[in-house]
Amino acid sequence: MVALAGLGTALLLAWLAWFVWARVSLYETSQRARLEAVDVPHDLDAPLTGRILRTPVGLDEWVEAGDVLVEFDSAELVVQKEAEESQLAALVPQIEALERELTSQSQAILSEQRAVGYSLTEAKARQRAVTAISELKELERQQIQSLRNAQVVAEVDRQRGQADAEQKIAEVQAAAAQVERLGREGRAKRSDRLAQVARLQADIAGLIGERVQSAGRMGILKQRIALHTVRAPIRGRVAHATPLKPGAVVAAGARLCTVVPAGAVRIVGFFPAATSAGRLHQGQPARLRLSAFPWTKYGVVHATVERVGQEPREGLLRVELSLSPGQNTAIPIQHGLSGLVEVEVEKVSPLALVLDAAGRYMMGREAADPTGVPATSP
């Protein structure tokens, strides 16, 4: 009996020691969790309302950045673009021809200015020569007139000198008129040339304006045509694809497909903010139990808390966890798997757990009876 009493006492003391000093892990469990790609998946919606031409890529296929996922019918826009291209191509030689004509007119203005300058120089030289001769003839006329007054020369000689002087005066007037005429003709030709140059410049500016407008319209058409082709923005796998057949009409904004990027994945868990706020922080160990892979058969996926959201949404905190490296598991780690994640928030003794449970029980009693007055029977 003494031996049994001693054994019982030893067991009781061992249990009390375990109850007080042992440490057990305390976990916080999420309401839901899932595996997500580290890079954000891309949801691709229809950019416009149109008719499907072809869908070369299907569900669960790998795509490279730039691959065509869905193509809408853009035949009408293509015809408009080709018409704009033809118009733009026709404007180019017209502009070049007018520019060549403008260059010719500018060169003609310079040539005519030089020619008029030479003609005026020649006419002015002739005017100076005729003026000099006229002045000489006038001097001779005056001398002959003096001699006639002195009865030294005959009347006919005076008349001949008078006629020569008047002839030279007329030649001087004709030379002056020619200089004036050449100046007017030069100015008139220059005005005509400048008017033609101005007209050509206006025509060129108009055609250039048409070319700019046509190029702008063609750019808009190219953008609109580009909208008719939905391309993969990244390299990844088509995780969702709406069944579409050629000829089907899709409304703008309709979901076409989702491309999940290739690369690492992470765990995203959503925890009740009322019990998890302040208890979760970076570096805490965690484990993920996947719904599709029972943990009793496949085990769990180990992870570490990486980031904890501070602002709850609908009463839940978002927590991001990174997968622990070097795990040997048969579970295919891929985007979209769901389950529950448990985060080890602390290690406590069984005594602390009992006290914590008692405290929660008392808080629940007080919440149920806020007056604190015990109920009495009548």
Residues, the chain = 378
pLDDT tens, residue by residue, 265-315: 899 999 999 888 888 999 999 999 999 898 888 889 999 999 999 889 999
Q: Do 295 and 239 share a structural domain?
A: no
Does the structure show a pLDDT above 80 at 233? yes
Q: Do 83 and 195 share a structural domain?
A: yes
Residue 378 lies in a domain: no
Residue 52 lies in a domain: yes
Does the structure show a pLDDT above 80 at 47? yes
Q: Do 186 and 97 share a structural domain?
A: yes
Spatial distance between the Cα atoms of 239 and 36, rounded to a whole number of angstroms: 12
pLDDT of residue 375: 41
Residue 7 lies in a domain: no
Q: Do 183 and 62 share a structural domain?
A: no
Going by pLDDT thresholds of 50, 70 and 90, the confidence category of residue 358 is confident
Token pair listed for 179: 């200089």
pLDDT of residue 289: 92
Does the structure show a pLDDT above 70 at 152? no
Q: Do 161 and 131 share a structural domain?
A: yes
Does the structure show a pLDDT above 80 at 365? no
Q: Do 123 and 84 share a structural domain?
A: yes
Does the structure show a pLDDT above 70 at 156? no
Mean pLDDT over 22-28 rounds to 77
3-state secondary structure of 141: helix
We report the CATH number of the domain holding residue 165 as 1.20.1270.60
Spatial distance between the Cα atoms of 123 and 125, rounded to a whole number of angstroms: 5
Q: Do 336 and 218 share a structural domain?
A: no
Q: Do 347 and 271 share a structural domain?
A: yes
Q: How far is CA 18 from CA 10, 60, 119, 262, 319, in A?
A: 12, 53, 128, 49, 33
Mean pLDDT rounded to a whole number for the chain:
82
Going by pLDDT thresholds of 50, 70 and 90, the confidence category of residue 251 is very high
Does the structure show a pLDDT above 70 at 373? no
Q: Do 240 and 157 share a structural domain?
A: no
Instruction: Say what percent of the chain tops pLDDT 90.
Output: 26
Going by pLDDT thresholds of 50, 70 and 90, the confidence category of residue 184 is confident
Q: Do 324 and 302 share a structural domain?
A: yes
Residue 369 lies in a domain: no
Mean pLDDT over 9-37 rounds to 79
Does the structure show a pLDDT above 60 at 370? no
Going by pLDDT thresholds of 50, 70 and 90, the confidence category of residue 362 is confident
Q: Do 222 and 93 share a structural domain?
A: yes
Mean pLDDT over 237-244 rounds to 87
* Closest alpha carbon to 120 in 70, 57, 55, 185: 185
pLDDT of residue 317: 93
More confident: 317 or 21: 317
We report the CATH number of the domain holding residue 355 as 2.40.30.170
Number of domains in the chain: 3
Residue 368 lies in a domain: no
Query: 60 is in which domain, residue-wise?
Result: 42-73+228-256
Q: State CA 193 to chain mean position distance.
A: 48
pTM score > 0.75 for this model?
no
Spatial distance between the Cα atoms of 225 and 232, rounded to a whole number of angstroms: 16
Q: Do 89 and 222 share a structural domain?
A: yes
Residue 31 lies in a domain: yes
Residue 370 lies in a domain: no
Residue 139 lies in a domain: yes
We report the CATH number of the domain holding residue 52 as 2.40.50.100
Range of weakest confidence among 21-30, 60-69, 138-147, 272-281? 138-147
